[in-house]
Amino acid sequence: MPTTETTLAGHSIIAGAQVAGNGRTMNGFDPRTNSVLEPAYTLIDEDQLAAATAAAEEAFESFSSLDPETHAAFLEKIADNIEAVGTELVERAMAETGLPEARLTGERGRTTGQLRLFAQVVRQGDHRGVRIDPAQPERQPMPRADIRQRKVALGPVAVFGASNFPLAFSTAGGDTASALAAGCPVVFKAHNAHPGTSEIVGQAIAEAVRDCGLHPGVFSLIYGPGTSIGQALVADPAIKAVGFTGSRSGGTALMATAAARPEPIPVYAEMSSINPVFFFDGALKGDLDALAQAYTASVTGSSGQLCTAPGLVFVPAGETGDRFAAAVNRALATAPGQTMLTKGIADSWNSGVAALGSQDGVELVAKGQDGATENAPAPAVFGTSVDTFLSNPVLHEEIFGAASLIIRYASAEELVAAARRLEGQLTATLHLTDEDHATVAPLLPVLERKAGRILANGWPTGVEVGHAMVHGGPFPATSDSRTTSVGTLAIERFLRPVAYQNIPDALLPAPVRESNPWHLNRRIDGTVKRAGEQA
């Protein structure tokens, strides 16, 4: 595929047009050197924001009614355009985040891969949720009307870029991809830490909109302060749902704004998780050095700036736990700190680690080496007891970065009691062998209430994009535990059901028309009928 060169304009893209903001300007920074990156980005005001949301509203009717093939081809065109940018995209993302080339190359592949996966979903069509209860005029004592149901797009969606995933959870990331796949125009609020990366991808999406002949309001990219423009975006009456990945304080602030609107709207926010890992006796009879190395790799990968990083590890008290802690010390001792995404995030990590280390009953178990840059602090692992953990709320707080806490437990009952006290989590991990099943069994029902994904003998970092994945969980992991922000089920967040009763067939939308022109699987009188199968 030939590559295309992108010229950074430093402006928002509103309904396909580059728009210079009327507010102040801001720049990206290279966290490896704290140096300013050009160009400066102009920030829009609320009048310019209103133009973006109005364009999204204008685009909604035509975009939400696209036929499956046109719709899927649009998503694939976005993926093609992103790949056509070539190395320029990865190089800019490296400069704005300090993340390594291999990580960002993989993230670009994940971004384009999930767009193509949603194109498959759109073609297949099960997300439309078609149900048909045919009329039964002879039914006694009352006839039954003809009732047909499908799911329709909610309306324009506001999406906020994440700091830690400049591609896969950003401009064309999972929230944008699933909203567009649902038929919802997107107004994307760029993260101020990687404005150039956002613009490159935003131009690729805008080009796909033009190439596919769609209304330009299908996508807009805006730059502005989160405390003003971000809040105004969520409050705008044209916006019908919000996708957000970030801090608990940021997510709850958007939730409050959305709930206070005259018409409240859903906010799908992924916010805070410390992802407990539970070790059982059988698992610790193996190679402890290999386990410790895998654990520290999960803690330190991407400088610990992953929403699934293991922030808590429960291990048995006594000699076994001592040997595991010693193995962690050996594994972490030479691990260098990696550049964090921004100076602000590095400063916050330093404050969080200092607060954790100063708590009564908490000791330093292992520490790595400072990295080569100012914003690359040495990773650290601390230790404490279950009793101390349960009595001190500071130990339950997320530290965003390469830090973790090992907690010693004395019995299975103590472990279950500790799990019951955990906040909602994205993940919970079990390290076990067959001999541990009886000990693990009472813990599983507790973890089902606490986490969106439970895994065994692995590590929570690394989230597969597929049909069965759940990347969500009870608050504060997310704002709505019924949903996921990764995988094809994410499309359900931006859809709602509509029923059509005794509507003439000629007036029905294609998915529920008798002739089934889009060849969808449909549930008829409670039984699933595959495309092409007679009712």
Q: What pLDDT does residue 532 have?
A: 73
Class of domain 13-21+36-136+145-271+485-492: alpha beta
Place of tokens 């549930």: 523
Q: pLDDT tens digit string along 47-104? A: 999 999 999 999 999 999 999 999 999 999 999 999 999 899 999 999 999 999 999 9
Catalytic: 46?
A: no
Q: Which residues contact 399 (CB under 8 A, 6 or more apart)?
A: 311, 349, 352, 353, 356
Tell me what the mean pLDDT of segment 405-433 comes to: 97
Q: How does the average pLDDT of the chain come out, rounded?
A: 96
Q: What is the pLDDT of residues 338-356, one digit of tens each?
A: 999 999 999 999 999 999 9
Give dist(CA 283, CA 326) in Å, integer. Answer: 16
**Mean per-residue pLDDT, 266-276:** 97
Q: Are 97 and 103 in contact (CB under 8 A)?
A: no
Backbone φ and ψ for 27, nearest 5 degrees, come out as -120, 155
Res 2: pLDDT: 55
In whole angstroms, give the CA distance from residue 14 to residue 16. Answer: 5
Looking at 57, 58, 96, 307, which residue is catalytic? 307
List, for residues 20-43, the tens digit of each pLDDT value.
Answer: 999 899 999 999 999 999 999 999
pTM over 0.85: yes
Amino acid letter, 332: L
pLDDT on residue 1? 53
Average pLDDT on 110-133 reads 98
- Of 207, 118, 212, 111, give the one whose Cα is nearest residue 167: 111
CATH number, span 276-456: 3.40.309.10
Average pLDDT in the 141-146 region? 96
Please give the radius of gyration of the chain, using alpha carbons only, rounded to the nearest integer. 25
Nearest residue to 204 (alpha-carbon basis) of 19, 74, 27: 74
Tell me, what's the pLDDT at 226?
82
Interatomic CA distance for residues 12 and 161, integer angstroms: 14
Q: In this prediction, what percent of the chain has a pLDDT beyond 90?
A: 96
Choose, from 57, 58, 96, 270, the residue flagged as catalytic. 270
Give the mean model confidence (pLDDT) for residues 321-325.
95
The verdict on whether 270 is a catalytic residue reads yes
Determine contact, residues 93/99, Cβ cutoff 8 Å: yes
User: Is 38 within 8 Å of 75 (Cβ atoms)?
Assistant: no
| Weakest-pLDDT range from 20-24, 108-112, 213-217, 491-495 | 20-24
Residue 423, pLDDT score:
97
List pLDDT tens digits, range 465-487.
999 999 999 999 999 999 999 99
Kind of pairing between the strands at 403-409 and 380-385: parallel
Instruction: Considering only the C-alpha atoms of the chain, give the largest distance between any 2 of them, rounded to a whole number of Å.
Output: 80
**534: confidence class by pLDDT, cuts 50, 70, 90:** low
Distance linking the first and last C-alpha atoms of the chain:
44
Q: Token pair of 463, please?
A: 């989230």
Rounded average pLDDT over 500-519: 97
| Phi and psi torsions of 52, nearest 5° | -70, -45
Residue spans of the domains in the chain: they are 13-21+36-136+145-271+485-492, 276-456
Residue 494 phi/psi, 5-degree rounding, is: -110, 25
CA distances from 309 to 113, 115, 278, 303, 323 (A): 23, 25, 14, 10, 22
* pLDDT digits 0-9 by tens, 409-418: 999 999 999 9
pLDDT of residue 239: 98
